[in-house]
A and B are shown apart, each in its own frame.
Chain A
């Protein structure tokens, strides 16, 4: 009798056999992946819907508020114009010096009769020409000028000219910057 053997056991298939062993873990993994993908998709869908509705809500609110603001554009225009105009008026008020105060400074210098002329230039310098009857009056004038400078009612006082006339009268001109 010939020595014949029949092997019913399946032959090992090398790498493919290894693959068949991975089928079950792969199946599980694929289910996990699908589950995670489904949950993620659901979460994304819900979040998207919520955020989208929020955007729509804010856009509607914004459009309403903008409409209401535009309806009050006259009031807004008045307010803007008022602010701009007030700023300009403030600058104009600053630029307008209260020259009326100068006369109290002048009256502190000498009597009204002594003045020949008073002039104020662009820089705010006051130049004045006076005619005085005596040296004593001149000394008083100079003293008064210095006192006013000490009192910070004027600054940079200067004697521009001094003339002693034959008739005994004195002509003097001064300049200073009043502190107004």
Chain B
């Protein structure tokens, strides 16, 4: 009998035990430890998924609690105050409407600053507008009227829902009796709608108290334009049948 066979036969039990121990050790190193590490990873994944699901559920609950019609109405009001396009017709109508309400006569009105006819999103925002935080259409308007009418006109301009601001104005008091002539440099505000609304994972914003106050203020502002009742509804989620339609 060769010596190796003899040795194996003699110490068979011990050798098998050693082999088993080595197998267990290698199984621990190459299988148990990686499996524990993998489980740790998976537990982390469960934690992340739990947090994500919880946040998404909260977002869904918030969305379910919102009234779409009410939101739509608020957005329509906000869009009538600051439209998504230049909307020259509503601008002229608003100025004319305020003039009619206050008793002044618009004798001249012109758009200044070389307003581009490109789509609002493609037009570059000026440094002044960037500082202001919104795009503007500068225009000049000259009106005639009594001092009280002019005073009312100037006072009413920032209170109508198509938001306007008076930048510069000058009143000349003629020697003879009135009417007065007022020349005003004004701005109308507009801002294109955001094109990126985010993904489902995007955190849903909440309206702050200040923003709610602005919404209430806007809804309380009168519309001075004649065609205000036919303002287009917001187009979010709906495609225009005719993209070239106004």
Contacts and interface: CB of A to CB of B under 8 A. Distances in A.
A122 B131 CA distance: 15
Interface stretch (A35-43, A148-156, A162-170): A35-43
Contacts of A70: 200
Nearest to A22: B14
A65 interface: yes
A6 interface: no
Contacts of A16: 7, 10-11
B18 to A, nearest CB: 6
Interface residues of A, number: 71
Interface string B25-56: 10110011001101100110110011011001
Nearest to A115: B173
B24 A98 contact: no
B35 A66 contact: no
Contact of B11 (A20, A30, A34, A93): A20
A100 B151 contact: yes
B50 A74 contact: no
A102 B13 CA distance: 108
A139 interface: no
Given A82-B207, A90-B214, A69 B200 contact: yes
Interface residues of B, number: 87
A96 B165 contact: yes
B211 A37 contact: no
Nearest to B50: A58
Interface string B108-144: 0000000000000000000000001110000000000
A37 B52 CA distance: 36
Interface of B: 7, 10-11, 13-14, 16-18, 20-21, 24-25, 27-28, 31-32, 35-36, 38-39, 42-43, 45-46, 49-50, 52-53, 56-57, 59-60, 63-64, 66, 68, 71-72, 74-75, 78-79, 81-82, 132-134, 147, 151-152, 154-158, 163-173, 187, 189, 191, 193-194, 197-198, 200-201, 204-205, 207, 210-211, 214-215, 217-218, 234, 236-237
